[in-house]
Amino acid sequence: MTHELQRQGRSHDRDHGHRDVHGHARPDDHGAGHHHEDHHDHHHESGWWGTVRHTLSEFLGGHSHDAADQVDEALEANARGRRALWTSLAVLCVTALLQAVVVAFTGSVALLGDTLHNVADGLTAVPLLVAFWLARRPANDRYTYGYGRAEDLAGLFVVVMIALSSLLAAWEAVSRLLDPREVTHLWAVALAGLIGFAGNELVARHRIRVGRQIGSAALVADGLHARTDGFTSLAVVAGAGGVAIGLPWADPVIGLLIAVAILGVLRSAARQVGARLMDAVEPELVHAGRDAVATVEGVLQVRDLRLRWIGHTLHADADITVAADLPVVDGHEIAHHAEAHLLEALPRLSGAVIHVSPSGAHA
């Protein structure tokens, strides 16, 4: 069978015949009609029947490891992230508006704080939207890996906002303990708190689900942030219930407990975002990539495989060993096969540099 690797976008450009910094062959562009043998278990049939089957497979969701498809997947992931942010921003704005209406006729300071909190937290989508927009820009001589790291920096901003949420919740709780305030229309306050919880939980689930699907730690962290806001809204409900049964101290005490719970969410978000900033990857991804390269015919050893997340896309560097007497052209083709196997094994991979070493060179 034959498989053609096409290159689209600056992030995948390679000049034919170029080598890496070690002087070894690395993948380059294939011109029209330039094919190489691929040792996957797939096969493509020739003729009209093969074309029909291939088209049906693509239509029904069949996968491909074509580099052009990898670019399309990266762009689609970026678009899904932006859609998730816009949708969640709209939900939080509607939630805050409904709560503001209740604040207007109940005079609940606690609910006012929760309403303003939801507005402010909805605006955390703005730096993430900017980061996703930047990630679409092509790499250049200054940012040779592109602008995907802006997404991880936005995730750091979200972590800071979660920490401030915990401090704000604790501050408001202590203030209400020291200066109790009468609240009217408790049923309306409780209902508004439930609305706040429902809106934030919907946003949290949506952001976390999409973030995990596209590999965005920042979007997952923002989803966890929305979940903390839902806890704050529940504190309003619990506080209203306590006041209704004659326990005016219930509201601030529960508020303090919520502040502690938010610290637990902060720990989880900080761990995810911090890992991305430290170039941590899931070990199973490394194992899958190493196994995929090892199956390439002609690869004697996978000496090293390094992966890093930049935003919600993966980048790989591999060092493989081939026979010492192998012609340069054959080593060049093996590098292409190794990259093709990596692209198929790691769906979020946007590109790879393959370092080819002759056997015995590192003895």
Residue 11 included in any domain: no
Verify that 82 and 209 share a domain, yes or no. yes
Token readout for 211 is 């973030």
Pick from 126, 135, 48: nearest CA to 93:
126
Quote the CA–CA distance of 105 and 170 in Å, as a whole number: 26
- pLDDT at residue number 336: 93
Verify that 129 and 265 share a domain, yes or no. yes
Verify that 261 and 302 share a domain, yes or no. no
Verify that 221 and 197 share a domain, yes or no. yes
Verify that 223 and 158 share a domain, yes or no. yes
Verify that 138 and 189 share a domain, yes or no. yes
Q: What is the CATH number of the domain that holds 146?
A: 1.20.1510.10
Burial string for 305-332 (b: 16+ CB within 10 Å, else e) reads bebbbbbbbbbbbbbbbbeeebeeeebb
Residue 254 included in any domain: yes
Alpha helices (H) in 10-66, listed in sequence order: 47-59
- pLDDT at residue number 264: 78
Range of the domain at 297: 281-363
Domain boundary among 277, 299, 318: 277
Residue 293 included in any domain: yes
Domains identified in the chain, total number: 2
Token readout for 179 is 């200066």
List, run by run, the mean pLDDT of 10-residue segments along the chain (363 residues). Answer: 32 37 38 36 43 39 39 64 86 87 74 72 79 86 89 85 80 78 77 88 90 83 83 79 79 74 80 88 93 94 92 90 92 93 89 90 66
Single pTM value for the model: 0.64
Residue 51 included in any domain: no
**145 backbone dihedrals φ, ψ, rounded to 5°:** -100, 10
Verify that 208 and 271 share a domain, yes or no. yes
